[in-house]
Amino acid sequence: MYDLLQPHVSKVVACNPRRNALLKEGNKGDRIDARKLAELLRGNHLQPVYQGENGLRMVKELCRSYLTVSKDLTRVMSRLKALYRSWGIPCSGTGVYAPRYRAEWLGKIAEAGVRRRAELFYQQLDALQSLRREAKRDFLAESRKHSATKLLRQIPSIGAIRAAILIAVLQTAYRFRTKRQLWAYSGLALRTHDSAEYRYRRGQLERSKKQVTVRGLNENHNHDLKNVFKSAATQASQGAGPRHDFYEALLAQGMRPAMARLTLARKIAAISRESIERDGSLCVLRAPSLMPKPYAPSDNPSMKSSALSSEK
């Protein structure tokens, strides 16, 4: 929709609904919400969402196709195993999906209707496997056209598929000012809760030394990107290499395995951002709104005086 409307108007703003608290107040309706959005747009209070660049549109769409087909394939495999288990037939492992063992597995089902249902699931499985191979081939071929793929593949536990997904999802490192913003976008940021942050002691207001409560990871994130970094961290922690030594060092310091894997996933995410930032081909994809703006004091004399005082 964004690409469809952009040529016909002067400016298109795809806003983040989680930042529009005004929409939650009062009555709900299309006209009312449109009025509130217009008021927020007039006051420049809408938070825009990054929509990507046209130069990476092809690899982005191929990534969506590959991930969608992969999820559909996983769903069909789960349904097939659930069908066997519902009739008390144990089906652990991957042998239930092999074509040469299907006649044997279908023979274990006594009910004709259930057997026909399993046959349809097998047909759907074969079709999705063929589509997945085709989508994977096109996706990898398109990702090789970008030089950042070679830099990302130099990172341990980042293979061809993960590097291609990073190119399609991240697109440019200038979306994230620091690595911490990438951690939050990837679902690797900690949610904390604190109460009674300050207290009065001997007539003075001072900060409390009570430890902040951690409430898990942030829920508002990109699930595909989190899956890439989590799987890469898990693979790196189990295999040999410098990332495994880093993981073992964290465990030796007394850190829990879950927190050590989170730290390793954060490190891989930070290295991935730096690799994309170093690549020269993706530097041209910086949108003007993402470029750092130089500080310029306002023409207001009071603003100039405050700026000078802060510099002193």
181-192 tens-digit pLDDT:
999 999 998 888
Q: Is the domain of 184 the same as that of 115?
A: no
User: Does position 129 have pLDDT exceeding 90, yes or no?
Assistant: yes
Q: Is the domain of 180 the same as that of 278?
A: yes
Q: Is the domain of 27 the same as that of 108?
A: no
Of residues 290 and 200, which shows the higher confidence score?
Answer: 200
Say if residues 26 and 20 touch (Cβ distance below 8 Å): no
Q: Is the domain of 33 the same as that of 108?
A: no
**Contacts of residue 257, Cβ cutoff 8 Å, sequence gap at least 6:** 251
Give domain status of residue 127, yes or no: yes
User: Does position 19 have pLDDT exceeding 80, yes or no?
Assistant: no
Give domain status of residue 151, yes or no: no
What does the alpha-carbon distance between residue 253 and residue 278 come to, in Å, rounded to a whole number? 32
If you average pLDDT over residues 27-36, what whole number do you get? 83
Q: Is the domain of 74 the same as that of 29?
A: no
Q: Is the domain of 267 the same as that of 181?
A: yes
Q: Indicate the pLDDT class of residue 105, thresholds 50, 70 and 90.
A: very high
User: Does position 60 have pLDDT exceeding 80, yes or no?
Assistant: yes
Residue 280 is predicted with a pLDDT of 59
Q: Is the domain of 181 the same as that of 248?
A: yes
Give domain status of residue 227, yes or no: yes
Which has the minimum average pLDDT: 57-71, 74-88, 209-223, 229-243? 209-223
Into how many domains does the chain fold? 3
Range of the domain at 28: 2-42
Give domain status of residue 209, yes or no: no
Of 124, 125, 127, 105, which is closest to residue 114 (Cα–Cα)?
105
Token pair, residue 171, equals 């697109």
Q: Is the domain of 32 the same as that of 61?
A: no
If you average pLDDT over residues 81-98, what whole number do you get? 92
Give domain status of residue 82, yes or no: yes
Give domain status of residue 125, yes or no: yes
Looking only at the bridges linking them, the beta strands covering 198-201 and 190-193 are: unpaired
Model's pTM, two decimal places? 0.75
